[in-house]
Each structure stands twice: as C-alpha cells, then as structure tokens.
Amino acid sequence: MAHPLIPKIQAVADPLAASLELEVVQAVFQTNQSPPVLRLDVRHLHQDTSLEHCEQMSRSLEAALEEAGTIPDAYVLEVSSPGVSSILLADRDFVSFKGFPVAVQTTEPHKGHSRWEGSLARRDDEFVYLTQKGRPIKIPRSLISQVELVDLVE
C-alpha cells in the first residue's frame, strides 16, 4: 500500500521529471527507517539514464519539496534508475531489445496460441513481429497483454 504522501510527491515530481526529459517510474516512501527514505526511480525518455540525470532530478526535487512543504519532517531522498525491466513497454524498449528472446502473451488466442516465444524483430502501429526458428510471426498489438524478455532454450 502506498504512503498517503505519494500522490502529493508525484504531483511535484512528475512535472519536474518531464522538464528534464525523465519519467518517474516508481515512488516509495519508506517510513520504517529513521530518518524515512523517499526513493524515486526515474528513466530518461530518449537515452540511457545516467548518474547525472539522477543528480539533476534529486537537486530539483529536493528544492521543490522543501518549497512546497510536502514532507514536514527530516527524510533521505534517493533518486536512481530502475534498471532494465523484463517487460517491454516503450517504443524505445522494442528498438533496444531487437533480436532478443521474448515471450508475447495475448488476451485471447491468436492462431491457436495465447503465448508466443521467439526473437523480437520489431513493432509497428499494428503488430509485434517475432522470428521463431527462422519463421516470421506477426501478432496484432490489439491482442497483446504483455511482451517480456525471456531466456529461450532451443
């Protein structure tokens, strides 16, 4: 369950992140520590997230939260990159992981299957394209619930 301050923190953090070409992936306020720890995971929208991006967000957010009085007591702010997620979501993910093994889960069967595994070829507005043992496969995006990186054993 999220801490009740998270929506207020997000309201301050999201526009700041956008101004730095970042997105807030996750915000967690850990009050079981002394002092409490506010941890934000941010991802750059167009490139790998660097330490400099995290530092910029940290400085900007710290000042904005202080000015807004969002967190009344002392706390520690940690801003970091979430690392690589196994779930592919953004267009950039589909470009970065071209050729990698993926599993595609569909909401209903497509050509008799609800799960497809193969090497990611590409994604466009209508389909996700895989290669499965040299065979091209295209799966309608409207049916896809998830695309995830996997370790394929052939």
As a three-state string, the secondary structure of the chain is CCCCCHHHHHHHHHHHHHHCCEEEEEEEEECCCCCCEEEEEEEECCCCCCHHHHHHHHHHHHHHHHHHCCCCCCCEEEEECCCCCCECCCHHHHHHCCCCEEEEEEEEEECCEEEEEEEEEEECCCEEEEEECCEEEEEEHHHEEEEEECCCCC
Residue 74 has pLDDT above 50, yes or no: yes
Domain assignment present for residue 154? The answer is: no
Residue 69's CATH number:
3.30.300.20
Domain assignment present for residue 127? The answer is: yes
Domain assignment present for residue 44? The answer is: yes
- Model pTM score: 0.56
**94 Cα distance to chain centroid:** 13
pLDDT for position 154: 44
Range of the domain at 99: 91-149
Residue 48 has pLDDT above 60, yes or no: yes
Count of structural domains, the chain: 2
Same-domain status, 100 and 68:
no
Residue 150 has pLDDT above 90, yes or no: no
More confident residue, 86 or 108: 108
Choose the final residue of a domain: 80, 105, 122: 80
